[in-house]
Amino acid sequence: MDRFGRVATDLRVSLTDRCNLRCTYCMPAEGLDWLRDDRVLTDAEIVRLIAIAVDLLGVDEIRFTGGEPLLRKGLEGIVAATTALRTADGRSPQTALTTNGLGLARRSAGLAAAGLGRVNVSLDTLRRDRFLTITHRDRLEDVLAGASAASAAGLGPIKINAVLLRGINDDEAPDLLRWALGAGYQLRFIEQMPLDAQGAWDRSVMITAEEILDKLGREFELRPHDTDARGAAPAETWRVTDGEHSGVVGIIASVTRPFCGTCDRARLTADGQIRDCLFATAETDLRQMLRDGATDEQLADVWRAAMWGKRAGHGMDDPGFLRPSRPMSAIGG
Ligand code: SAM
Ligand code: SF4
C-alpha cells in the first residue's frame, strides 16, 4: 500500500532488457547497452521474488514483459512456477504476457501448458513496409502468426497493443480496428510516452486519445463500455461494431488522461529493482539483498517501504518533470 491508499496487486515483471525488434518509439536502431548477464536475475531468483509478492504482499496478478520476454529461455518454467502459487483466497495468480509476438507461434502451446492466462501482442501496422520502418525488422508475418497461434492455444482474449506515430501509421487506426474485430482480438491504442531511450518524444507531435477517437468515430459507432467497472484498468474502452463483427476497442491515454489515482501496479526489473511507477526516478535494489542472503520477510519489508513512497501521479505536466533514467525496454512496459 502507498500513502494514498492504493494497493499494488498487479506486478509487472521484466524478464530481460533485450529485444529482437527496434521500435523507433522504444529504442535506437543499433540497440542499447544491454545489462550484463550477472546483473540479470536468474529464473530461480525471479520465481522467489514473485512468490514473496504473492505470499506476503497480496499480489494476485503477474504480467511478464521486457524487453522481449520470449527471449527468455526459462519463460515457460517461470510461468509454471508462478501459476503453482496461491493467492490469499486460494486461487492461482492471474498471469499474462506482453510480447512482440516473434517466436510466439512456436511457444504458444508450451506457454498454455505452463498455465499462462492471456497474451498481449504489440503490433502497430498491418503493412509490411511500415512494419519495417517502425521496427527495423521485416517480421510482420511472424507477429501475425504468433497472435493467431496464441489465440488457437487458448491464450485469449488476445489484446493487440498499437502505438500510432504521426506521418507513419496514424492513418491506420480504422484498418487496425477492422482487422482486430474480424480476428476476434481486442485492440488497444497506447499514447506514445516519453520513455524512448533516445529522448525523441515530443508532446506536440504525439497522437492523443482525442485524435484517435476522432479517427475511429468517422468510421465506427463507439459506445462507452464498462465505465463503472474500469477499476484500475489502464485502458478506457468502447464497444464497437463494423456491421459484421462487434467487439471492444481501448485507449491507454497515459499522457492526456492519466489514471494514476487508481494505479495498482508495481514493477520488478530484470536486474531485480523495484519501481513503484513507470516514471519513477528512483529504484529499490532487491538483487543485492537477495544475493547477500536476506530472508523473505526482510525482502518483503524493503519492498513494502519502496511502495509506500509512490507519488500521487507521474507528474508529466509538472515543470520539474524528469524522464526516468531508464527506457521502457529496461523498466518493463
Ligand atoms: N517487447 C514487448 C512488446 O513490445 O510487447 C514487451 C515490452 S514493450 C516495452 C511493452 C509495450 O510498450 C508495447 O506494447 C510497446 O508498444 C509499448 N511501448 C514501448 N515504448 C513506448 C512508448 N515510448 N510509448 C508508449 N508505449 C510504448
Ligand atoms: Fe522491443 Fe517491445 Fe521495445 Fe518494440 S516495444 S523495441 S518489441 S521492447
Strands 236-241 and 221-225: antiparallel
Which of 165, 190, 254 best tests ligand 1's pocket when mutated (most atoms within 8 Å of CB)? Answer: 190
Q: What is the pLDDT of residue 261?
A: 85
253 touches ligand 1 (CB under 6 Å): no
Q: Note the CATH number of domain 10-331.
A: 3.20.20.70
Which residues of the chain have a pLDDT value below 70? 227-229
> Residue 200: nearest ligand to its CA?
1
Query: At what angle are helices 75-83 and 43-57 packed, to 10 degrees?
Result: 20
Q: Which sequence spans correspond to the domains of the chain?
A: 10-331
Distance 206 CA to ligand 2 centre (A): 18
Q: What is the pLDDT of residue 323?
A: 77
Q: From the alpha carbon of 26, which atom of ligand 1 is closest?
A: 20
Which of 328, 329, 331 best tests ligand 1's pocket when mutated (most atoms within 8 Å of CB)? Answer: 328
Number of other CB atoms surrounding residue 328 within 10 Å: 23
Residue showing cell 525523441: 200
Distance 8 CA to ligand 1 centre (A): 21
Q: What is the pLDDT of residue 228?
A: 67
Q: What is the pLDDT of residues 175-185, one digit of tens each?
A: 999 999 999 99
**Residue 75 phi, psi dihedral angles, 5° rounding:** -55, -45
Q: What is the pLDDT of residues 224-275, one digit of tens each?
A: 887 666 777 888 999 999 888 999 999 999 889 888 888 999 999 999 999 9
192 touches ligand 1 (CB under 6 Å): yes
Radius of gyration of the chain (CA): 19
Q: Is the separation of the CB atoms in 92 and 86 below 8 Å?
A: yes
Distance 26 CA to ligand 1 centre (A): 7
Distance 333 CA to ligand 1 centre (A): 5
Q: What is the pLDDT of residue 26?
A: 94
Distance 19 CA to ligand 1 centre (A): 11
> Residue 23: nearest ligand to its CA?
2
Query: Model-level pTM?
Result: 0.96
Distance 163 CA to ligand 1 centre (A): 8
Q: From the alpha carbon of 66, which atom of ligand 2 is closest?
A: 8
